[in-house]
């Protein structure tokens, strides 16, 4: 891999031991994946932020680093709402350790936005190179925005944040962004809810594996694209997809589609994921809710009381900008939490069955929360939570 003179100096340790270590990580990644050079990144998003996933070894590693990030960098959700952790039932020992993790990142200059939807907070543009970690954020950035990022591991994203560059391979290169499989949705179905797209993504991710799908036969809106991509990244390893007539790069590659392997998914297969099993709690906001999703949930809960715990997750800045909707949601007895999510927080582990409107949560909850899971539309989730007849 070709390095510029100042990059060689960093690698030689002339800018301190931490920057040297970080450059070693980037160079090692670049060599493994055959990168020709490093490219500057516009922002970074670092996973490995929940104490539940990084543990004491992670705190020790982070505490030994002596450098500051050189591009805007945010964290993935952590294991608790930093303000309302007691109300979430988080044990004080866990909270103390979680704050140690956060303090270690803060010392490096990482912004303490803990979210998988950094694109709601910082403007991210078509064609920008990024070093993001969380799989749904990576999928959204690549597919919906047309920015370019591989799915970075925590250390790779932090190294890119500190150096301000990442090796140019994989999805940073246009030729690596071509669709590899054509998925068409056949038959009529309830195509107008994020849960439909989450469930479709759950099935499509299993079919696509780590290949880049090109979808036809659907017209998802922005939040529905978010749900589709998040689920495919969870049930498969899809970091980029295209939707005919919708996503920004679909037109560039549409001439390739006739030659691709064709994988049909029927609306009936999507509908078969629905069940009527009784649930103990409802969790919404995987990925973190947009302002529009908070408004929809508020509209469904207005004037009602929930009969089982309902948790809604979003980025703190989005919650602060959606005060009216959040007030309506909380008047029902549901709770809106920032900084964390249903999967990385230990708070959800006390329930036997959780209902979600997310294909990603549908994929992760059984293992990560050790709970059974039911998927439904947002309206169905609220109907179940409020005991509305017919739920």
Among 52, 97, 360, 374, binds ligand F3S (CB under 6 A): 360
Is position 282 an interface residue for ligand F3S (rule: CB under 6 A)? no
Report in angstroms how near the CB of residue 216 gets to ligand F3S at its nearest.
25
- With 0-12 / 13-18 / 19 or more C-beta atoms within 10 angstroms meaning exposed / middle / buried, residue 143 is buried
Q: How far is the CB of 361 from ligand F3S (least distance, A)?
A: 6
Q: How far is the CB of 286 from ligand F3S (least distance, A)?
A: 3
For 121, residues 6+ apart whose C-beta sits below 8 A from its C-beta are 74, 113, 115, 315, 317, 318
Please tell me whether residue 48 binds ligand F3S under the rule CB under 6 A.
no
Nearer to ligand F3S by C-beta: 153 or 164? Answer: 153
CB 147 within 8 A of CB 126: yes
- Closer to ligand F3S by Cβ: residue 9 or 53: 53
Please, is 123 exposed, middle or buried when counting C-beta atoms within 10 Å of its C-beta (0-12, 13-18, 19+)? exposed
Binding window for ligand F3S (CB under 6 A); candidates: 20-28, 246-254, 280-288, 324-332:
280-288
d(CA 143, CA 208): 15
Minimal distance in Å, beta carbon 116 to ligand F3S?
3
Binders of ligand F3S among 157-196, rule CB under 6 A?
none
Cα dihedral 185→264→212→158 (10° resolution): 70
Is the four-CA dihedral 314, 320, 325, 327 of positive or negative sign?
positive
Task: Provide the 10 A C-beta neighbour count for residue 210.
Answer: 10
Q: Which residues contact 168 (CB under 8 A, 6 or more apart)?
A: 30, 35, 36, 37, 38, 39, 129
Closer CB to ligand F3S, 250 or 273, in the complex: 273
The answer to whether the CB of 37 falls within 8 A of the CB of 163 is no
Contacts of 190 (CB under 8 A, 6+ apart): 196, 267, 271, 377
Q: How many helices (H) and strands (E) does the chain have?
A: 15, 15
Does the footprint of ligand F3S cover residue 343 (CB under 6 A)? yes
Nearer to ligand F3S (CB atom), residue 175 or residue 367: 367
By CB under 6 A, how many residues form the interface with ligand F3S?
A: 15
CA distances from 166 to 40, 44, 130, 146 (A): 6, 10, 8, 17
Judge whether 68 and 155 are in contact, CB under 8 Å: no
Per-residue binder mask for ligand F3S (CB under 6 A), 77-96, x = binder: x-------------------
One of 30, 154, 205, 287 touching ligand F3S (CB under 6 A):
287
Triad 219, 123, 25: Cα angle to 5°: 105
* Euclidean distance between CA atoms 370 and 352, whole angstroms: 8
Distance of closest approach, residue 358 Cβ to ligand F3S, in angstroms: 7
Span of 101-109, 192-200, 266-274, 338-346 interacting with ligand F3S by CB under 6 A: 338-346
| In the complex, least distance from residue 249 CB atom to ligand F3S, rounded to whole angstroms | 22
Q: Within positions 50 to 79, which residues make up the interface with ligand F3S, using CB under 6 A?
A: 76-77
Is residue 288 a contact residue for ligand F3S (CB under 6 A)? Answer: yes
Taking CB under 6 A as the rule, which mask of x and - marks residues 115-154 in contact with ligand F3S? Answer: -x-----------------x-x------------------
Residues 212-231 that bind ligand F3S (CB under 6 A): 230
**Spatial contact of 77 and 50, defined as CB atoms under 8 Å apart:** yes
Span 103-122, contacts to ligand F3S by CB under 6 A? 116
Q: Does 363 bind ligand F3S (CB under 6 A)?
A: no
Judged by beta carbon, residue 227 or residue 243, the one nearer ligand F3S is: 227
| Contacting residues toward ligand F3S, per CB under 6 A | 76-77, 116, 134, 136, 230, 286-288, 313, 341, 343-344, 360, 364
């Amino acid at each position: 891999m070709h390095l510029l003179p100042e990059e060689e100096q960093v690698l030689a340790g002339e800018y301190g031991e931490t920057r040297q270590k970080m450059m070693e990580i980037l160079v090692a990644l670049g060599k493994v994946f055959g990168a020709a050079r490093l490219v500057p990144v516009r922002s970074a998003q670092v996973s490995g932020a929940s104490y539940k996933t990084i543990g004491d070894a992670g705190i020790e590693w982070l505490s030994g680093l002596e450098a500051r990030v050189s591009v805007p960098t945010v964290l993935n959700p952590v294991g608790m709402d930093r303000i309302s952790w007691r109300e979430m039932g988080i044990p004080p020992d866990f909270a103390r350790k979680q704050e140690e993790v956060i303090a270690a990142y803060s010392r490096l200059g990482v912004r303490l936005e803990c979210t998988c939807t950094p694109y709601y907070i910082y403007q991210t543009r078509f064609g920008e190179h990024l070093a993001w970690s969380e799989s749904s954020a990576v999928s959204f950035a690549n597919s919906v925005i047309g920015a370019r990022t591989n799915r970075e591991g925590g250390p790779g994203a932090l190294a890119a944040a500190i150096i301000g560059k990442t090796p140019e391979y994989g999805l940073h290169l246009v030729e690596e962004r071509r669709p590899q499989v054509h998925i068409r949705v056949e038959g009529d179905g309830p195509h107008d809810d994020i849960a439909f797209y989450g469930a479709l993504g759950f099935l499509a991710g299993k079919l696509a594996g780590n290949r880049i799908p090109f979808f036809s036969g659907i017209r998802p809106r922005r939040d529905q694209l978010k749900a589709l991509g998040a689920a495919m990244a969870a049930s498969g390893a899809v970091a980029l997809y295209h939707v005919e007539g919708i996503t920004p790069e679909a037109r560039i590659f549409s001439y390739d589609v006739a030659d691709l392997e064709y994988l049909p998914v029927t609306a009936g297969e999507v509908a078969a994921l629905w069940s009527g099993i009784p649930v103990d709690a409802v969790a919404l906001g995987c990925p973190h809710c947009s302002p529009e999703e908070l408004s929809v949930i508020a509209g469904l809960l207005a004037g009602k009381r929930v009969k089982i715990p309902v948790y809604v997750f979003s980025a703190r800045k989005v919650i602060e900008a959606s005060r009216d909707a959040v007030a309506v949601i909380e008047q029902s007895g549901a709770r809106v939490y920032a900084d964390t999510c249903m999967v990385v927080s230990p708070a959800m582990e006390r329930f036997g069955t959780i209902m979600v409107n997310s294909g990603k949560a549908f994929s992760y909850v059984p293992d990560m929360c050790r709970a059974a899971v039911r998927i439904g539309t947002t309206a169905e989730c609220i109907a179940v939570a409020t005991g509305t007849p017919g739920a």
